[in-house]
Amino acid sequence: MVDIVSPEKRSVMMAGIKGKNTKPEIAIRKALFARGWRYRIHDRRLPGKPDLVFPKLKAVIFIEGCFWHGHHCHLFKMPSSRREFWQPKIEGNRERDTRVREELSALGWRHLTVWECALKGKARLPFQLLITTISSWLESSETTADIEGARDGAD
């Protein structure tokens, strides 16, 4: 399929996609703050500059977009055009995610990934349930976890 916008316009559109302080990230931050959780954001001293950092708990949270990180859910579909660009780009993001989490674990940090599909789309979780799940993980001793949208219609 031919792109309906010029390469210059597409470049401007893609450059406008934020990597931090996204709507899902801000919604989660506000809800956790309202529950009394205090955190740092985008700490450059840690591998991967996690979205939320809880230093006292040695825990971090990543809020990941399903498309950009190639999550296996209904929100991700490999683009049919320019596959030679997108395939290595998304695979590189996945490899970096794995490496960053391994580095964090080696440093003694726990990590939680909240996937975009948990927040939007047909498989999204009720928002308060999502925040309760995040809070429960923070209070637990679990070292790693992922929160994603419901699969097969189950909550």
Query: What pLDDT, on a 0 to 100 scale, did the predictor assign at position 82?
Result: 86
Does 7 fall in a domain? no
Give the integer Cα–Cα distance in Å for 58 and 117. Answer: 26
Does 128 fall in a domain? yes
- The whole-model pTM stands at 0.85
Domain count for the chain, please give it: 1
Give the integer Cα–Cα distance in Å for 117 and 147. Answer: 9
Which tens digits make up the pLDDT trace of 1-55? Answer: 566 778 777 667 665 565 677 899 999 999 999 999 999 999 999 999 999 999 9
Write the DSSP assignment of 80-134 as a string of letters. SSSHHHHHHHHHHHHHHHHHHHHHHHHTT-EEEEEEGGGTSSTTPPPHHHHHHHH
- Percent of the chain's residues with pLDDT above 90: 73
Our CA angle for 27, 110, 36, nearest 5°, is: 40
Does 14 fall in a domain? no
CATH code for the domain in which residue 129 is found: 3.40.960.10
Give the domain extent around 40: 20-147
Which tens digits make up the pLDDT trace of 106-119? Answer: 999 999 999 999 99
Does 2 fall in a domain? no
